Structure 1
């Protein structure tokens, strides 16, 4: 396999595009963030990286809270649109026919009603990085659509129709290739068939 050496670039792909909601219930806003990630299990923490000139940056800085809404295939147009339009100029919820509802932990911070799962976050630290500022946040609550729970109450995100962003293209998630730990799991011995 022949490879070329390029100048350093942020080409870690695919990524989960998320709709970050912020502002207030009276004036909610959405921003598409492609640079979001899990950073800690205990306490549960995530990060989002946002340019300081973005409208949402100031809303999050001022309030110290935001919600990460996981988008589905049905929200892919909204994901794209909220990534190219500014909340300074347009009410994104109204323009897209979307609905903001109060979070359960942060009732003054909107969550996206159409998203099947929202992480309610409180900023603990910000790190200026250059073109972006990294918001580190504790996940203080999770709002989950009950349709994503199986009969035992287990979360089934595979039912949500979540999307990925891969170098300029939105993609549906594909078939399952394995499960956590499958590469080291011992196989069960085959039981002889009864006659």
Structure 2
């Protein structure tokens, strides 16, 4: 039996969800990191990923201007960084410095990789779509990296609880 509920109540049942850290840069090359739950693969050939960012977010401005970003899958031990990057604006703070995360020079894009992440993917925006209060940015994945430490990837279980999974 089904019962009708508010959209908000239904959304609470979406967990667990993949949480990613997305790195962008301003025109002077200063990096910013945002935590996102709304992300997905969109194509295998060529490989593409989509991220959804609210119009008022600083990362939205940066990606709109530079048309590139890095998607990083956080690993176990990065829970505090996930929370920090999702609750502070890069307009006000250097998130790499504040979290102790390690910026690693990327090969094809200006935003740096995150050294502690299990996976990093360099992306160039090939399409964008405004959807209400968010924009979906579709990025072609130019190259990808995995950690030699092979740590589990963190998923958001809801209520700011994260759990690592390794299924490969």
How does the TM-score come out when normalised to structure 1? 0.77
Aligned residues: 164
Runs of 4 or more consecutive aligned structure 1 residues displaced over 3 Å after TM superposition? 173-176
SS of 2:18's equivalent? Answer: coil
Distance 2:71 2:39 in 1: 9
C-alpha contact (below 8 Å) 1:102/1:110 kept by paired residues? yes
The offset of 1:34, in angstroms, is 0.7
Show the counterpart of 2:33.
30
**1:55 equivalent among 55, 58, 61:** 58
The offset of 1:169, in angstroms, is 3.2
Distance 2:115 2:165 in 1: 25
SS of 1:53's equivalent? Answer: coil
Alignment of 1:117-132 (within 5 A): 117-132=119-134
Show the counterpart of 1:182.
none
Distance 1:174 1:4, change over 3 A: farther
More strand by share: 2
Distance 1:136 1:86 in 2: 22
How does the TM-score come out when normalised to structure 2? 0.88
Distance 2:113 2:164 in 1: 23
Show the counterpart of 1:8.
7
SS of 1:73's equivalent? Answer: coil
Show the counterpart of 1:169.
160
Q: Which structure has more RCO (C-alpha within 8 Å, separation ≥ 6)?
A: 2
C-alpha contact (below 8 Å) 1:163/1:170 kept by paired residues? no
Unaligned runs of 5+ in 2: none
Show the counterpart of 1:146.
148
Show the counterpart of 2:87.
84
**1:20 equivalent among 18, 22, 25:** 22
Unaligned runs of 5+ in 1: 149-159, 180-195
Show the counterpart of 1:154.
none
The offset of 1:116, in angstroms, is 2.5
